[in-house]
Structure 1
Amino acid sequence: MRSGNSTAFTALLRRFAHDTSGAIAIVWALASIVVVGMVGAAIDYSRTVNVKEEMTMELDGAVLAGARFLASSTNIAASKQHIVDTFTQTAALAIGDAAKFEISPADVTINETEGTITATVRGQVRTAFMKVLGIETMDVSVTSQANYADKYLEIALVIDVTRSMLDSDGSGSTRLASLKKAARALIDTLIPDDTSDRVRISIIPYSQGVRLSSSDASTVTNGYSARCVTERVGSERYTDAPYTAEFIGGGSGYMIDWPPDYMKPEDVPEYYDRRGASFGACPSQEVLPLTQNRQTLLDTIDAISAVGGTAGQTGIAWGWYTLSPNWNNLWPTASEPLPYGNEETLKYMILMTDGDFNDVYKTIDITERHCTWYYPFRCTTTTKTWWYEHYNQNWDSANRAKNLCTAMKASAANQGEGIAIYSVYFNPTSNAAAEATMRDCASSDSKFTYAANGQALTQTFVKYAKEIQQLYLSK
């Protein structure tokens, strides 16, 4: 019996010694942890790469936002904070809880000599699988760099405020209301806040003329007008020579063709004085010379109203005068345009109309004979030049506008490249003649736009503002 039992026990021990099924399970259990860790590491690494790409995109956007900020402002500290705030806001939406990151103004470097912005963000991506190996986060770091402009920008906004601007814009609003909305969007883009000090904008509302202060109007017209100013008709008509070289016309602002058949020459002064005072169609809002004051610009836009016909060439001429250093003695010191040869300054015009240019001004010399009642044979004669207006005479208004635009584009501004002109024809109804004028005025076909409704006008103004920013960022 003992011998049999001993043999059975020995066989049992032998089988136990050679049984590896439990060892395989243990080995597999241990190996599976490694395998899962390796697969998880690949997944977590892929997630980290994706998060890093998102961070890079958001940081690129924030740095470009900083470049745009510096395009309108010289405030370095505020621009750094703007980059930090922009990245923090956009990255929080794009990345969510996948990672935590750190960025402060100290992580942003602005090299004013080179004109570059460099920003770095460091963060940690939370792991989903590698935490089983004790690794809860993976470090990431991204850096972005962009150039920024150190130039100063001067823009003349020349806008049609004629009576037709009270008509429909094609989308349920008036053209005037849509113009105001578009102009505000333009200002929001170029002068986003009160720190903006690189960009100055002038506003020139035009109809049959433009309005200046009484003293300025009298000065530039040599005492002829104290309310509405128009254009020049002499040798300086298509130049930006100062008013001292050739005075500006001061038309009555009332649409009339010369001469009325019933009028005697000696009655002309009284007639024009009476019409100019009672029926003038000068814009209610004065020209606003160059300013960086955002609120002043917005208040001017809000105040404009619509009246009269369309002497577009007058608006163009006065837009030029607000950009020309030759006119510095007319404008306040803070509004004086910088010299054409200033390499840090770029000048632009944005021109808008909703129809044909149809009013022109001319002069006529009137000789008056005055006799005293008590000495009937004692008479004197005086000759005076009077301004009068023609309505839509042989498209002369459009031709004058084109000549002015051509001269502006050939001026010494922008380092000899001339003032760059953007134009837009804004009307639900297409008009081939009006479009042709605006297209000819623009510096290129790409700088002309036909806007069929108010929404398109706003999009156009914002597009122009952003393109101007990009152009002078690259200068």
Structure 2
Amino acid sequence: MTTPVFRHWAKSERGQTAILFSLILLPFLALIGLSIDATRQIAMKAHAQVAVDSAALAAARVYKDSFVHTEVRSAATETFSANIETGFADATCTLESTQIDDATLTITIDAKCSLPTLFGIDLVGKSEAEVLGTSTATAVHRVADVALMFDLSGSMNAAELADLKAAGKRAAEIIIGSQSGVTGRVSVIGFAGGLNAGDFGNLAAGRASLDDPELDGSDRVCVTERMGTNAFTDADPTTDPVGAPTTIFQTIASPEVDRPSAPFCPYSSIHPLDEDLNAVKAQIDALERHSSGFGWGTAGHLGIAWSWYTLSPNWNSVWTDTAYGGAAKFEAGPYGDPNQPKVAILMSDGIFTHGFNLGFHDRDQLIETSNVTDAAYELCEGMRDAGITIYAIIYGPTIALNAMFETCAGDPDNVFSATDSADLVNVYQNLASRYLGVSLTD
């Protein structure tokens, strides 16, 4: 039998338990509510990150193909919108910014989402949670060795040469880049009525360093065509030298006169493959248009030959000889390496018309043009057979040059025309970007 005192105690215990349970339940429910909101925010954060990553990659792909900022931003917006819509129906998301860095070839996407809280307004006084997302994608440089050949003949006026320099430097920036471990290399080859190979030309012609019997300056070695069975190959020049500068030249006006090859070649010398962007850009900046009283003509076949030589491992004895200005970094990689493609980007504003040695030069201009054009075909075929990809750029509407370059490149799709500075920069950028991929940064 329970006394009244104990019955009162029992009733009091049940009341205390109810109060205690209520005190425990309220924070427990609050934790459940907050965990639900937190789970939604975490899921929203993950979804937003996928959306900004996708937008950054899509924008980077468009960027490497066109470099047009408006197109890049449109791609980012469209891709972000398409991906974010598959998330929470009650979320409000905006793409805050698309930042494009032409120097580092990077695209940075920033986005913000507002997600209503289901319990936060009652528990912590917040009606919505802010979720941020950011992502950076870059055009990744692939290792490539690229020869840039430039026409410096008299038909290129000062404004055109300035445009060409700007375009060439932009290509070098893209190819060489600034990413550790994936640096490409660029060689620079300028030609006019002849080609100045610098002291490398002395070595390739079997002469001593700084040899200058032509008295045109030891830094100006105006080489001529290689003769014999290796005229159109990249054979090692230490066993089969290229043509040395000549002092005898036939003209239309007279049979043979004492006339050196120097007036036909530019003061700008070639530069071997180099990963030093500043050095390459300085070499391009130093390019000079060349024309003299009798230094007419365009010896593009020599430009093609020396473009090949800079890419050829068979010429490493030349490029690495320190006595002639060489260095180990100029060494060309082996043929057939899929991770280090070899590319030649040839540029001219007119057909090739000028040669030097027997079988190239002729007093009949039509025959001479035919000779050097055939030489260009032979050299280009040899380059393609060695696995070198050839692209060609025509500056100006030269139909005859278009036909020649199509044969030289081996594919009409590898030939491009530019009529003004904007076209020229776009062509060089687009060709350089073929050796880029896209990737999210760490």
Give the shorter-chain TM-score range: 0.5 to 0.7
Structure 2 unaligned regions, length at least 5: 1-40, 65-71, 82-91, 97-108, 208-212, 292-296, 320-326
Q: Distance in 1 between matches of 2:395 and 2:357?
A: 28
Match of 1:218 in 2: 202
AA aligned opposite 1:60: L
Does the 8 A contact of 1:409 with 1:419 survive in 2? yes
Give the Å deviation of 1:204: 0.3
Does the 8 A contact of 1:165 with 1:306 survive in 2? yes
Matches within 5 A, 1:34-433: 54-61=51-58, 125-127=113-115, 134-137=126-129, 152-166=143-157, 174-193=159-178, 195=180, 198-214=183-199, 216-223=200-207, 227-252=221-246, 256-257=250-251, 260-261=254-255, 271-272=258-259, 275-276=260-261, 280-308=263-291, 309-331=297-319, 332-363=327-358, 391-392=365-366, 393-411=368-386, 418-427=387-396, 430-433=397-400
Greater CA drift, 197-206 or 351-360: 197-206
Q: Distance in 1 between matches of 2:229 and 2:346?
A: 24
Does the 8 A contact of 1:422 with 1:442 survive in 2? yes
AA aligned opposite 1:340: Y
Percent identity of paired positions between Structure 1 and Structure 2: 24
Task: Give the secondary structure class of the aligned counterpart of 2:144.
Answer: strand
Q: TM-score when scaled to structure 1?
A: 0.60
Give the Å deviation of 1:353: 0.2
Does the 8 A contact of 2:195 with 2:303 survive in 1? yes
Q: Distance in 2 between matches of 1:152 and 1:63?
A: 19
AA aligned opposite 2:254: P
Give the Å deviation of 1:423: 0.4
Give the Å deviation of 1:146: 10
Greater CA drift, 201-210 or 437-446: 437-446
Task: Give the secondary structure class of the aligned counterpart of 1:328.
Answer: helix
Distance 1:424 1:232, change over 3 A: same
AA aligned opposite 1:461: Y
Give the Å deviation of 1:431: 2.1
Does the 8 A contact of 1:202 with 1:288 survive in 2? yes
Distance 1:234 1:453, change over 3 A: same
Does the 8 A contact of 2:94 with 2:113 survive in 1? yes
Give the Å deviation of 1:245: 3.4
CA deviation map 1:116-139 (0-9, x unaligned) = xxxxx9987224686756552266
Q: CA RMSD in A?
A: 4.2
Q: Distance in 1 between matches of 2:179 and 2:135?
A: 29
Give the Å deviation of 1:230: 2.3
Q: Distance in 2 between matches of 1:441 and 1:333?
A: 31
Distance 1:145 1:305, change over 3 A: closer
Structure 1 unaligned regions, length at least 5: 1-43, 69-85, 102-120, 168-173, 365-386, 412-417
Does the 8 A contact of 1:242 with 1:326 survive in 2? yes
Q: Distance in 2 between matches of 1:100 and 1:467?
A: 29
CA deviation map 1:328-372 (0-9, x unaligned) = 0101211010111434321000000000100122249xxxxxxxx
Does the 8 A contact of 2:115 with 2:131 survive in 1? no
Give the Å deviation of 1:154: 0.4
AA aligned opposite 2:129: T
AA aligned opposite 1:57: S
Give the Å deviation of 1:398: 1.3
Distance 1:162 1:420, change over 3 A: same
Greater CA drift, 324-333 or 250-259: 250-259
Distance 1:290 1:396, change over 3 A: same
Q: Which runs of 4+ in 1 moved over 3 A?
A: 47-54, 56-59, 61-66, 97-101, 121-124, 127-135, 138-149, 192-197, 223-226, 251-256, 387-392
Give the Å deviation of 1:455: 1.4
Q: Distance in 2 between matches of 1:344 and 1:217?
A: 30
Greater CA drift, 317-326 or 449-458: 449-458
Q: Distance in 2 between matches of 1:421 and 1:243?
A: 23
Does the 8 A contact of 1:122 with 1:139 survive in 2? no
Give the Å deviation of 1:212: 2.3
Distance 1:422 1:50, change over 3 A: same
